[in-house]
Structure 1
């Protein structure tokens, strides 16, 4: 069984707003590398994240979600459902694999859409843009990834989304 994916945004997640790329360091990279998931860039930086961000974090080159233009019909549907512009393509890129997604712009609408359209388990986790990934974010991500991998007995919490504050969202599992 392959490890769950961990999709990472850069601006507002790895790189808090107001922080320059030179200000991030290897400690953050070590914490990311220690998470029990396969790291994937899901950022508008695309391959630039491997050129500019990964070396500063001490990370190897990571897989990258390459964004494609959406159609007018998709844009209209996404606006209607209040979806983030990345949501559909993150689910598509995952290809049914379990995944966690850390982004500063996701909302309950994205969580609901993923729960309805992704066949695997998923955690859509909102990160505060001014702080970026913090200790509590790492705790949520690590616990969810370990549970999905079966490292902690597959107890309660597998497949659940998170609310805007990062706490559990027990309304429904993120897998349908």
Structure 2
């Protein structure tokens, strides 16, 4: 059994800064992809569906994530396609665990992110860091009240994606909670 905390990683926002107008100037590379979740909201005959979604990824992010003292897990609506579509472009292995969502984008009665409750269940009491662009103060309070171990909820702005300071924060936090 591993003693490393979990790193629950979203794609859009942290890895794909989809709101960044000049991501290419910061080393991001643009790719066209057709993930199932994205296609489910489009007419299959539309020009948009044929072209695919523009996804910006930084080739160094995989190595930097692997260097952190975490057990990496995909926590994204891309589900298993993160292993086949995202991982090869950033240097991550294509067999990372994937959180299985009971329902994508489900409305929470308490205003939490649709991911919050399933992620706490997935962590099963283990320390975890959750990296996402959709984290809100209600999520932080709920996790603090319902998760018995340390948890870091790191909100990443979708205009910036993961930055140096985020990798520093993650590394520092993991070293503090690792026995």
What's the TM-score once normalised by structure 1's chain length?
Answer: 0.76
Which residue in 2 is equivalent to 1:82? Answer: 111
1:113: how far off? 0.3
Match of 1:65?
A: 99
Give the equivalent residue in structure 1 for 2:160: 131
Alpha-carbon contact 2:75-2:99 (below 8 Å) kept: yes
Structure 1 residue 26 displacement after superposition? 3.1
CA displacement 1:123-159 (0-9 Å, x = unmatched): 1111111111001111111110111114xxxxxxxxx
Q: Which runs of 4+ in 1 moved over 6 A?
A: none
Alignment of 1:88-167 (within 5 A): 88-150=117-179
- Equivalent pairs, count: 144
Unaligned 5+ runs, structure 2: 24-29, 32-54
Contact kept in structure 1, 2:15 and 2:58, CA below 8 Å: no
Displacement of 1:23 after TM fit?
4.4
Residue 27 of structure 2 corresponds to none
What is the Cα deviation at residue 51 of structure 1? 0.5
CA–CA distance in structure 2, aligned partners of residues 55 and 65 of structure 1: 19
CA deviations on 1:2-55 (whole Å, 9 max, x unpaired) are 210000000011111156347424311111111110010000000000000011
- Residue 69 of structure 1: how far off its partner (Å): 2.5
- Please state if 1:35 is matched with 2:64: no
Secondary structure of 1:26's counterpart equals coil
Compute the displacement of 1:103 (Å).
0.4
Higher relative contact order (CA 8 A, sep 6+): 2
2:5 alignment counterpart: 4
When normalised by structure 2's length, the TM-score is 0.75
The structure whose Rg is larger is 2
What does residue 42 of structure 2 align with?
none
Instruction: Structure 1: give runs of 5+ residues left out of the alignment.
Output: 151-176
